[in-house]
Amino acid sequence: MARILHRTIKVGTVDIFYRETLPRILIPDRPLILLLHGFPSSSHQYRSLMEKLGDDYRMIAPDYPGFGQTHIVPGSEIAFDYSFQNLSQVIEEFIDALGLGSFVLYAFDFGGPIGFRIAARRPELIAGLIIQNANAYEVGLSDAAWHFTMIDGRDDAGIKELGGQLSLDGIKSQYLTGVSDPESIAPDGYMLDQHYLEQPEHRAAMISLLRDYKTNLAEYPIWQDWLRRQRPPAQVLWGRNDPLFIEAGAQAYLADLPDAELHVFDTGHFALEECKDEIAPLIAEFVTRLSPTNT
């Protein structure tokens, strides 16, 4: 089994927790994989993938502020702005603090708007893209997703509706909707998410981010322009039964990234939960091909 280290680094007023694999043999020209997690999860969602690939690939998965084991330094909580823009800046500072250089960005769900903001600002960091149910096109939003982006979130009704996404039933639906075999989905992931969300500071952070989600739509043209201009090597992995980010969003990447690989799976939003054994070899092949000695 791969060796996974659990570390914390201070970035400004944030103590960022992250997981890191140590490969048995470090191949100097093989890019590391930066794994950016989704809502309402944490780096824990990548534990099985890191165990599967970590012997051969260096992988780093941080928890964002407001998620998992990452914490704001006591006394700084009130001043911290939980927005996608700010989270992207914190993760960019995290990248620089570790001196990561270029990497393969694995962007899932919330990892899309966080990672794409970084990529648009710092294109030199991106050696490749793995996009998994991370939307960047209006055509990829389901009717339910469009409704969600229109929630005001400042009145009682809006706050109540957003809060429903943070209930155990709401979290379970993120994991179970659209899967082929519900019994294959271990409850550990959504129960751990619920544990974190029961912490008042995490719940408040999540409400702020859900309220801020609509700002990502205005960024779509910027990210699409970056994709067209930079044409990074890309692999698109998608659970076709995602109730929010529909398959059309996966297909849309091919207009801007015509050389990208596209793999669609008969599962839901958290595709790795059900299809890890199919997805992991695809990731390994893609990242290996990016090494100069393999091109």
> Catalytic residue positions?
269
Distance, in Å, from the CA atom of 129 to the CA atom of 36, rounded to the nearest integer, reads 11
Residue 259 makes CB contacts below 8 A (sequence gap 6+) with 231, 233, 234
Task: List the alpha helices (DSSP H) in the chain.
Answer: 47-53, 84-98, 111-121, 143-150, 156-164, 168-176, 188-197, 200-212, 215-230, 247-256, 271-289
User: Which residue type is seen at 26?
Assistant: L
Tokens in use for 134? 């991370």
Residue 264 structure tokens: 């669609």
For tokens 């809006």, name the residue.
Answer: 158
Q: Are strands 59-62 and 126-132 parallel, antiparallel or unpaired?
A: unpaired
Amino acid at the residue 132: Q
Answer whether 184's CB lies under 8 Å from 274's CB.
yes
Residues with Cβ within 8 Å of residue 2, at least 6 apart in sequence: 21, 22, 23, 50, 51, 52, 53, 54, 55
Residue 142 to residue 140: CA distance in whole angstroms = 6
